[in-house]
Structure 1
Amino acid sequence: MWLYRVLFVIFSPFVLWKIRQFKTHYSSYRAKEALGFWPKVEADLWIHCASVGEVLAVRPLVDVWREKFPEKRLLMTTMTPTGAEQVAKSFPFAEHRYLPMDWRCAVKRALKQLRCSHLMIVETELWPNLLQLAKRQGIQIDIVNARLSERSFRRYQKIPIVSKPLLALPDCFLAHAQADAERFSALGAKKVKVVGNIKFDLAVPERVRQDNWRQSLGNRFVWIGASTHQGEDDSVLRAHKVLRQTYPDALLILVPRHPERFDAVAALAVQASFDVLRRSQTSPADWSQASVVIGDSMGELMHYYQASDVAFVGGSLIERGGHNPIEPALLGKTIIVGPHTFNFLDITEQLIHANGALRCQNDAALTQCIVELAADSTRRSQLGRSALQFAQKNQGAVARVCSEIDFR
């Protein structure tokens, strides 16, 4: 692990800067916990989720665990304040801590305050000091919803002196798909099982159906740029400008992936001469005069998807690797992705093959696609039905996870 420690020391100034940034923007952020100063905590299960997406993904699994063990105590850790806010909303019964930065002294300090025998990490947050010290403390470690892109696999392959002992630490990897499982095994993981993606088991919250934002928007065409990154917002706004030449009442809901970009993206939309409103300041009933709504609220992505006719899933027009298309699929929405979806390659390719999503190779293709879909409600319905059928066919991962994991 010496190489990792050297790299972490090099990047430590950035980590400390990020902690300070959180402290500046979120008054509720408990920065001391990120340095390992935890209050004492006892739990039967510890679940680590990096941020909001992972917290939402693990809800079906926590529901099953709580049903089986209603008396047991749950600890949840996140790395971001927005993740912490989502834990408070989704799991008010759980204790929350911020995961300490992966300095050995910080992790050791935090673990001294913890009594727990089982750590479940959602997706692939592999922090060497955390894994090593938790293992030394006798904690069972399971990686749930484990995924590893071909790009990440090649990076790990280049440093086997680090990756091999790291991948050998968890007791079990419960992988999305066979390709992920093979990559983990090739890197030295001891036990790997293919169970599917627990996000397919996510139930559409009843509140989303009851609120029914789509109904308050009337018959206008509505589309969403979901979880966009810097470099994509301009492309989405340009496509929307062309769309409004034919459909002047069309509405774009633009939802940046990271909260710190809300202001900048709103300013970008204003500069592009759109009538811009922000979700944090208005309700859907007040969006009639808007041409662009900035989705600057947390935990409402399913509401935004439900309100839309077409969903562009961001992180895919640039080489970010794309985000998970399962949520719009569960709502039966027409899905568009860009050319870069290596983070969720198997799911996205299967969804496209099932006629449940469309891939656009560049900005021009995105513009053409959105204009064509606005004109063809029949095709939108067909794509949406196929997406929903694909999502429903792939459900059942939570049950498979529970059958593989020993909940002590």
Structure 2
Amino acid sequence: MRLIYSVAWWIALPLVLLRLLLRGRQEPGYRRHVAERLGFYGDVAHDGISPILWVHAVSVGETRAAQPLIDALLAAYPAHRILLTHMTPTGRATGRELFGKQDRVIQSYLPYDTGWMVGRFLRHFRPQLCVLMETEVWPNVMAQCTQRRVPVALVNARLSQRSLNRALRFPALFGEAAAAMSCVAAQTDGDAQRIRQLGAPNVHVTGSIKFDVVPPAAMLERGAALRAQFGQRAVLTCANTRDGEEALILDALPSLDVADALLVIVPRHPQRFDEIARMITARGLSLARRSSAGDTPIGDARVFLGDSMGEMFAYYAASDIAFVGGSLLPLGGHNLIEACAVGKPVLIGPHTFNFADAADNAIAAGAALRIADAEELMKQATSLLLDERERKQMGENARQFSQQHGGATERTMTLLAPLLVPQSMAAR
């Protein structure tokens, strides 16, 4: 089965590269470092001496989630360097933002999942440990790591029932990959149960590392500066919105019955910034953009477009209420923990299957409310914006919810330590 899978990759490769080229028209980052995606790493700074711990974080969310773990690995293993790999330019940019000043962290793309390309990658970097963040399980990566005796840990792991059902259609492929894992650190009991069902051994529940992410002081300061631009206006931030959601939100905006309220939209994908700007102005709404407003007041703009990367904590800090996107449509939702960490009341839509436990627990803690659609989003936001006492209580509940669920990084480090002991002893 894996042979068929690998052949399919090689057949599809010209189309995959064409897609990179086309997508690069909107996101130039997709046209950079293409050789790395094919297993060639001559330009990647690597001294060939320092032992490597490899952490794979596919995109922005996984990279941010990896920060506490990478910091802990750097502290616990001072002789090692971290190889941080990604699949998207935005993930790579986020890694550069978080670790660009840390010379012990090197970055590259993970190659496409063929045995030959992954083999070149492993021969070049010779990692002592592979740490996959959240949901990234690649059959040839697993096979090549097994062949080279590189232990693999899936951490901060989550697996929805929908994803499990898809994987179970190909048990010879994904079951074999899951069985090759050295250990799994799952976010919740439900995730652990589904991952075991897929065939993974040594599965533990450690919680979500995202609860250990601390809002950077610089981002909070930037948020305060943004808030000064917004003035005394009530602010509803709709963050991590996905294709199709912005139209629903904008069409429902008249239901936000709060005088002079400001809607902030922060799309999930940067290639859609201009598209969303056109969508806003086409509805006759006055628009200000983060990229052009700078630090100047935004005047009477009805909508503020957060067309920047790496500032999510700042947008949340500048808001009164946060709606977390990907949840109005059946897309699975996105991380609500960042909004909770800065003490903001959270609204989420009906579709949060990617973060089901976190969403349900936040609701139970009084930190979040679930809304059925965009109209109810605006009505619930109106109610909270007009009720300062309730809004502040929800915000405090959100902060406490974030703080009470920490500790996953320490528990994950305990699981990873035995995987490194034999190699560390051998190195001595």
Q: Which TM-score tier does this pair reach, normalised by the shorter chain? A: over 0.9
2:28 maps to 1:26: yes
2:330 maps to 1:319: yes
How far is the alpha carbon of 1:267 from its aligned partner?
A: 0.6
Conserved in 2, the CA contact under 8 Å of 1:275 and 1:292? yes
Task: Identify the range of structure 1 (199-208 vs 215-224) with the bigger mean alpha-carbon deviation.
Answer: 215-224
Give CA deviations for 1:218-265 in whole Å, capped at 9, x if unaligned.
Answer: 22111111111111001111232332xx43421111111111111111
2:133 corresponds in structure 1 to 122
Conserved in 2, the CA contact under 8 Å of 1:23 and 1:31? no
2:230 corresponds in structure 1 to 217
* Whole-angstrom CA distance in 2 between matches of 1:216 and 1:363: 26
In structure 2, the gaps of 5 or more residues are none
* Whole-angstrom CA distance in 1 between matches of 2:374 and 2:177: 40
Cα gap change, 1:372 to 1:14, in 2 (>3 Å): farther
- SS of the counterpart of 1:346? helix
Give CA deviations for 1:296-344 in whole Å, capped at 9, x if unaligned.
Answer: 1111011111111111100001010000110000011010000000000
Count of residue pairs the alignment pairs up? 406
Cα gap change, 1:23 to 1:108, in 2 (>3 Å): farther
Q: What is the percentage of aligned positions where both structures have the same residue?
A: 38
Give CA deviations for 1:155-185 in whole Å, capped at 9, x if unaligned.
Answer: 2223222221111111111000011001111
Conserved in 2, the CA contact under 8 Å of 1:3 and 1:162? no
- SS of the counterpart of 1:33? helix
Task: Identify the range of structure 1 (5-14 vs 88-97) with the bigger mean alpha-carbon deviation.
Answer: 5-14
Task: Identify the range of structure 1 (287-296 vs 46-55) with the bigger mean alpha-carbon deviation.
Answer: 287-296
* Whole-angstrom CA distance in 2 between matches of 1:13 and 1:349: 43
Of 407, 420, 425 in structure 2, the residue corresponding to residue 396 of structure 1 is: 407
How far is the alpha carbon of 1:64 from its aligned partner?
A: 1.8
* Whole-angstrom CA distance in 1 between matches of 2:237 and 2:20: 31
* Whole-angstrom CA distance in 2 between matches of 1:367 and 1:261: 23
1:340 corresponds in structure 2 to 351
- SS of the counterpart of 1:286? coil
Conserved in 1, the CA contact under 8 Å of 2:255 and 2:375? no
1:166 corresponds in structure 2 to 177
Residues 1-400 of structure 1: matches in 2 within 5 Å?
A: 1-2=2-3, 4-5=5-6, 8=9, 12=13, 14-21=15-22, 23-24=24-25, 25-26=27-28, 29-39=32-42, 41=46, 42=48, 43-92=51-100, 93=103, 94-211=105-222, 212=224, 213-243=226-256, 246-400=257-411
Q: TM-score when scaled to structure 2?
A: 0.90
Cα gap change, 1:106 to 1:331, in 2 (>3 Å): same
Conserved in 1, the CA contact under 8 Å of 2:74 and 2:81? no
1:37 alignment partner AA = F
